[in-house]
Amino acid sequence: MSDSYRALVVDRQDGETVAGIRTLTEADLPEGEVTVRIDYSCLNYKDGLALTGRAPIIRRPPMTAGIDFAGTVESSESPDFAPGQAVVLTGWGVGERHPGGLAQRARVPAKWLEPLPEGCDTKWAAAIGTAGFTAMLCVIALERAGVAAGAGPVAVTGAAGGVGSVAVALLARLGHEAVAITGRADECRDYLTGLGAHEVLPRGARAEAPEKPLLSEHWAGAVDTVGGAMLAHVLAEVRYGGAVAACGLAGGAGLKTTVMPFILRGVSLLGIDSVMCPPAPRREAWQRLARDLPGSALAAMTEVIPLAEVVEQGEEILAGGVRGRVVVDVNA
Ligand code: NDP
């Protein structure tokens, strides 16, 4: 490979955030043990925030964006990785404090890389990316909290988004009655049913704060990607002893609720972070994804775009207009 590579760089110019493709060289790669030739990156909600500057995700611009990548090891100073090995990276501050994955090359510490599970390729890994990995962490957290298959309906909010789509597919595969809650019920009903949703519900009143601290008991569990009023509403509907895995803020970072679900129904609120998730649960989640996420569902929720279309899609994901997962072919 030549010394130069293409990267989607976010910069600040005259107080505005600008994102564009630049040609970088070896000298632009940071210090690190492993250099990776990237095949695919992907688009997550956080990438949308970074590319538009809507939140200060990129701390020291100019910097290459992209919180995930999947590719092949080009060179390695670590005994844990050898040239030619397929790897994936999500989180660890890549695309935030460290040059990101929306590029043809990256260099990172070895401990941030995950070898691909047996039989899985880099496109599969990028299609999952941070969003799918987070959905898996949510499902594992619900399992550990005692939400068993057959226990009752499990709600997924923001169901047509990236985390939501993978969560629906995983829950359905694992025998749960996955109920997709979405602002696009008409448009996405067939899509979500195809992923395995038992039922597709419009946001309806759940977009608003609950009118009472406790509502009728519906959910054995929930995966919440929305936060704000919707999380408060869903918490008030969880059955006795149930749990909610909270990972997102697409509808707001605030949470105005009462302690009633916790102290009268024994409900658990489980916080999910994918960025600094330690190596052991990371490995477990990737192994589980290889086992439990049906390839047909992943294919149905994935669209592939070239690097040149990422900025436009970054606006779109913040507007709630992206369905499922967007893989970025950085070499297209
Ligand atoms: P997407 O944009 O793909 O999905 C978000 C979904 O939320 C949308 O598709 C939409 O679903 C719903 N939504 C959007 N805006 C609103 C709104 N104003 N009110 C109610 N619902 C809304 O994003 P991702 O799946 O990539 O991420 C989802 C969330 O999870 C984000 O907040 C992201 O920051 C967070 N996240 C957190 C991680 C962690 O480590 N904790 C890791 C990954 C993501 P629909 O159309 O179906 O209603």
CATH number at 164 reads 3.40.50.720
- How many A from CA of 52 to the centre of ligand 1? 16
Specify the pLDDT at position 147. Answer: 98
Same domain, yes or no: 135 and 243: yes
Among candidate residues 271, 288, 319, the one where a domain is terminated: 271
Same domain, yes or no: 159 and 253: yes
- Rounded to 10 deg, the angle between the 310-318 and 45-52 helix axes is 110
Same domain, yes or no: 227 and 169: yes
CA distances from 202 to 36, 197, 263 (A): 42, 13, 29
Specify the pLDDT at position 3. Answer: 84
- How many A from CA of 332 to the centre of ligand 1? 27
Among candidate residues 249, 271, 293, the one where a domain is terminated: 271
Nearest to 156 by CA among 197, 209, 194, 128: 197
Please tell me if the CB atom of residue 99 comes closer than 6 angstroms to any atom of ligand 1: no
The pTM (predicted TM-score) of the whole model is: 0.98
Domain that holds residue 238: 130-271
Same domain, yes or no: 251 and 316: no
The Cβ-side half-sphere exposure at 315, using a 13 Å CA radius, reads 6
- The dihedrals phi and psi of 153, each to the nearest 5 degrees, come to -65, 140
What dihedral do alpha carbons 18, 44, 98, 122 form, nearest 10°?
Answer: -120
Among candidate residues 250, 271, 292, the one where a domain is terminated: 271
Among 130, 225, 269, 275, which residue has the most ligand 1 atoms within 8 Å of its CB, making it the best to mutate? 225
Ligand 1 atom at minimal distance to the Cα of residue 164: 25
Same domain, yes or no: 107 and 45: yes
Same domain, yes or no: 179 and 235: yes
Specify the pLDDT at position 178. Answer: 98
- How many A from CA of 317 to the centre of ligand 1? 8
- How many A from CA of 248 to the centre of ligand 1? 6
> In sequence order, what are the residues at sequence separation of 6 or more whose Cβ sits closer than 8 angstroms to the Cβ of residue 214?
236, 260, 261, 264, 265
Same domain, yes or no: 45 and 152: no
Pairing of strands 105-108, 34-43: antiparallel
In a domain, 125, yes or no: no
Specify the pLDDT at position 108. Answer: 98
Please tell me if the CB atom of residue 162 comes closer than 6 angstroms to any atom of ligand 1: yes
Same domain, yes or no: 56 and 178: no
> In sequence order, what are the residues at sequence separation of 6 or more whose Cβ sits closer than 8 angstroms to the Cβ of residue 293?
128, 132, 136, 166, 169, 170, 173
Q: Using alpha carbons only, what angle is made at residue 162 by residues 113 and 317, rounded to the nearest 5 degrees?
A: 105
In a domain, 122, yes or no: no
Pairwise CA distance, residues 256 & 236, whole Å: 11
In a domain, 109, yes or no: yes
Nearest to 176 by CA among 200, 152, 210, 204: 152
Same domain, yes or no: 190 and 255: yes
Please count the structural domains in the chain.
2
In a domain, 21, yes or no: yes
Pairwise CA distance, residues 332 & 328, whole Å: 9
Among 46, 137, 163, which residue has the most ligand 1 atoms within 8 Å of its CB, making it the best to mutate? 163
- How many A from CA of 159 to the centre of ligand 1? 8
CATH of residue 72's domain is: 3.90.180.10
In a domain, 197, yes or no: yes
The structure tokens 């939400």 sit at: 147
The token duo for 77 is: 């100073």
Please tell me if the CB atom of residue 159 comes closer than 6 angstroms to any atom of ligand 1: yes
Specify the pLDDT at position 89. Answer: 98
In a domain, 279, yes or no: no
In a domain, 296, yes or no: no
Ligand 1 atom at minimal distance to the Cα of residue 162: 25
Same domain, yes or no: 94 and 14: yes
Please tell me if the CB atom of residue 245 comes closer than 6 angstroms to any atom of ligand 1: no
Decide: residue 331, CB within 10 A, 0-12 exposed, 13-18 middle, 19+ buried: middle
Residue 227 contacts residue 249 (beta carbons within 8 Å): yes
Strand order in the sheet with 16-24: 16-24, 5-13, 63-64
Same domain, yes or no: 151 and 106: no
DSSP 8-state symbol, 231: H
Ligand 1 atom at minimal distance to the Cα of residue 159: 47
In a domain, 280, yes or no: no
Among 41, 44, 157, 315, which residue has the most ligand 1 atoms within 8 Å of its CB, making it the best to mutate? 44
Does the N-terminal peptide bond of residue 62 adopt cis geometry, omega within 30 degrees of 0?
yes
Same domain, yes or no: 50 and 173: no
Pairwise CA distance, residues 91 & 84, whole Å: 22
From the first residue on, what is the mean pLDDT of each consecutive set of 10 residues in the chain (332 residues)? 89 95 96 98 97 95 98 98 98 97 98 96 98 98 98 98 98 98 98 98 96 98 98 98 98 97 98 97 98 98 98 96 98 96
- The dihedrals phi and psi of 286, each to the nearest 5 degrees, come to -65, -40
Residue 51 contacts residue 311 (beta carbons within 8 Å): yes
Please tell me if the CB atom of residue 128 comes closer than 6 angstroms to any atom of ligand 1: no
